[in-house]
Structure 1
């Protein structure tokens, strides 16, 4: 079975990658399966810089093909915040709940029409003897005043997708992967995966 290492310890992301790669006959390993690998400090100021940093560091350590993603939420009314700080927006201890509360507090006086936002995902693929490449996916939506839905993770319960009239957290995993920022980035990656393997 073909193997690809996803440089994440995020169980939500790991599950999404497994679902996306399963039909293509790939065994997905994540850093949850490789506890000896230290977390890579995300010192980049863009999603692309962080994704490349993670992919290249882990690929060098494991001498293997590695895909790393950096993703997050950009809200227009907040000048693109939380951006690269999405996971730790409310503090160093990652908390989806506190992050959502902070965003909702900051948008309290912003009217619905001005609550436009998008999820960004940059995937970087690195490995021995290959040039590191990136692909980018986005998903447009707006931020609600309250949470809706129980699926997904992160900001999904407050991110409304107008084309489906649902939040990300109200979508099935299949619906989400068909329209999500990560799903869109992965579609591009799949088209080029044979260049790397």
Structure 2
């Protein structure tokens, strides 16, 4: 089984991506004590690439990093690459959601077209070897619903669904979500990339 370091120290995120990758990749979290990677890119792919290469230099192997967020055209693309810190550095999900609601209402909008985007990059410290990006279109609303999920899930409903992500089970959300789509794209490319580049911590082939 191929082994990769996931650019996070959050065990829940490791578990989620392991599920999305169908447990075909042995994902491990970053070791503690590492500095925070820069996120100064203009796109999700830029930031994912920065994080993957930054942490690969620290762990001495291949790292997979994600950057994802919400894009609302009616708000000039906000929150975009600042999704996780929309209400400021260290802001929690509630603060970010409240700022988005205020921004919608300031435009006189009860709902607006939106897109959830996820970029995944596998890289060594020297180069990026796999880059994928996926998205799901839908709408954001000015009132939260549901208790599941995280981030902007209480405000976002995917195209063709009245329910918000936060009203769905994890299995239901995976049928639509940007992360699930990006993970499937990554999984499809891992085996051929591994054979071509020696990808895989300690060189294990994808089984």
What does the per-residue CA deviation read over 1:25-55, in whole Å, with 9 as the maximum and x for residues that have no partner? x322123xx1132210211121111110100
For the residues of structure 2 that align with 1:11 and 1:178, how far apart are their CA atoms? 22
TM-score (norm 1): 0.89
Higher relative contact order (CA 8 A, sep 6+): 2
3-state secondary structure, aligned to 1:98 = helix
Aligned to 2:28: 29
Give the alignment's Cα RMSD to 1 decimal: 1.9
3-state secondary structure, aligned to 1:50 = helix
For the residues of structure 1 that align with 2:9 and 2:55, how far apart are their CA atoms? 13
Unaligned runs of 5+ in 2: 200-207
What does the per-residue CA deviation read over 1:110-159, in whole Å, with 9 as the maximum and x for residues that have no partner? 3346x000111111111267643310010111111211111111000001
For the residues of structure 1 that align with 2:149 and 2:44, how far apart are their CA atoms? 21
For the residues of structure 2 that align with 1:106 and 1:129, how far apart are their CA atoms? 40
Aligned to 1:4: 4
Structure 1 residue 3, shift from structure 2 partner: 1.9
Counting only pairs closer than 5 Å after superposition, residues 127-166 of structure 1 correspond to structure 2 as 127=124, 131-166=128-163
Q: Is the 8 A contact 2:63 2:124 kept in 1?
A: yes
Matched, 1:94 2:91: yes
User: Relative to 1, partners in 2 of residues 1:130 and 1:82: Cα closer, same or farther, differing over 3 Å?
Assistant: closer
User: Relative to 1, partners in 2 of residues 1:7 and 1:61: Cα closer, same or farther, differing over 3 Å?
Assistant: same
TM-score (norm 2): 0.85
What does the per-residue CA deviation read over 1:141-188, in whole Å, with 9 as the maximum and x for residues that have no partner? 111121111111100000112323211111211222221111111111
Q: Is the 8 A contact 1:46 1:84 kept in 2?
A: yes
Aligned to 2:109: 111
Counting only pairs closer than 5 Å after superposition, residues 38-187 of structure 1 correspond to structure 2 as 38-108=35-105, 109-112=107-110, 115-127=112-124, 131-187=128-184
Unaligned runs of 5+ in 1: none
